[in-house]
Amino acid sequence: MRISELAETTGVPVHTLKYYLREGLLMPGEATSRTRSEYGAEHVERVRLVRALVEHGGVGIAGVHSILAALTAPPPSRHELLGVAHCALPTPGDQGPVSEEVTALVADLGWPVWPEAPALRALSAAVSAARDAGVELSPDSLRRYASAMTEVAAVDLDVALAAESPAAAMHTVVVGTVMVDPVLVALRRLAQESVSARRS
C-alpha cells in the first residue's frame, strides 16, 4: 500500500507517518519509484504500536526508541526479559536516591529486587512527592498497596509467559507494562466508587 493508504488504515495522518520515518520509529517502505514507496502489514503493526506508546502510554521519542530496540533484539532467556524491559521503559522520577523508607519496605516484604532497579528510585520519589502534597503514606498502607500490586504482577507474568515466542513475550512485557498502567488507573477510580457505595 502507499503512504496515503497506510494513513487511512491506521488513522495516523501522513505528516505524522513522515515524522515517524524521519525519527526512525517506522522502517522505510520498499521504494517502487523515486517518489513512491510500498508499505505492508509490518508497517501497519509498527505504526499502531508507536502511536499507542506515544499517545496513550505517554512515552517520549527516546523511550519509544529503547522499547523498539528491546523488541527487535529479544534477550536469550525469559528470565532476563523483565530486566531488559524495565531498563527500556521510561520510569518517571528515577533520578533521585533510594530512600531508607523504601529500602525498609522492600526488605520487610522480602522482595528479591535488584538494588539498582530504576523503580526503587521512582518509588522513593513518588512517596516523597505524595508527602510533599500532604498525603502521608504509612508503612501499613504501603504494604497493602504492595500486596495488591503483587496480584497485578501475577496477571502480567501469566499473560507474558503465555506468549508463543520470546519475541512475543518481550512485546507483552514491555508494551503491556506501559499500556496497562492507564487501565489500572481507570480501574482504581471505578473500584473507589464501588467500594465507597458498598460501604455507605
Answer yes or no whether residue 183 interacts with its own copies by CB under 8 A: yes
Q: Grid coordinates 517518489 are at which residue?
A: 35
Is the distance from CB of 146 to CB of 39 less than 8 angstroms? no
Question: Looking only at residues 99 through 138 of this chain, which bind its own copies when binding is defined by CB under 8 A?
Answer: 106, 109, 111-114, 117-120, 122-123, 125-127, 129-130, 132-135, 137
Answer yes or no whether residue 141 interacts with its own copies by CB under 8 A: yes
Question: Looking only at residues 60 through 79 of this chain, which bind its own copies when binding is defined by CB under 8 A?
Answer: 78-79
User: Which of 100/158 has CB closer to its own copies?
Assistant: 158
Is the distance from CB of 29 to CB of 66 less than 8 angstroms? no
Question: Looking only at residues 148 through 177 of this chain, which bind its own copies when binding is defined by CB under 8 A?
Answer: 148-159, 171-173, 175-177
Min dist CB 74 to its own copies, Å, is: 15
Min dist CB 53 to its own copies, Å, is: 7
φ, ψ of residue 23 in degrees (nearest 5): -80, -5
Tell me the H-state helices in the chain.
3-10, 14-22, 41-51, 61-72, 78-88, 100-109, 118-132, 139-161, 166-199
| CA–CA distance, 171 with 71 (Å, rounded to integer) | 6
User: Which of 73/183 has CB closer to its own copies?
Assistant: 183
Q: How many residues sit close enough to its own copies to count as binding (CB under 8 A)?
A: 87
Question: Looking only at residues 17 through 46 of this chain, which bind its own copies when binding is defined by CB under 8 A?
Answer: 45
Site string for its own copies, 81-100 (x = CB under 8 A): -xx--x--x-xxx-------
Write the burial class of residue 200 (CB in 10 Å: 0-12 exposed, 13-18 middle, 19+ buried).
exposed
Min dist CB 72 to its own copies, Å, is: 14
User: CA distances (Å), 29 to each of 8, 17, 22, 23, in order?
Assistant: 16, 11, 12, 14
Min dist CB 71 to its own copies, Å, is: 10
Provide the β-strand partners of residue 31: 37
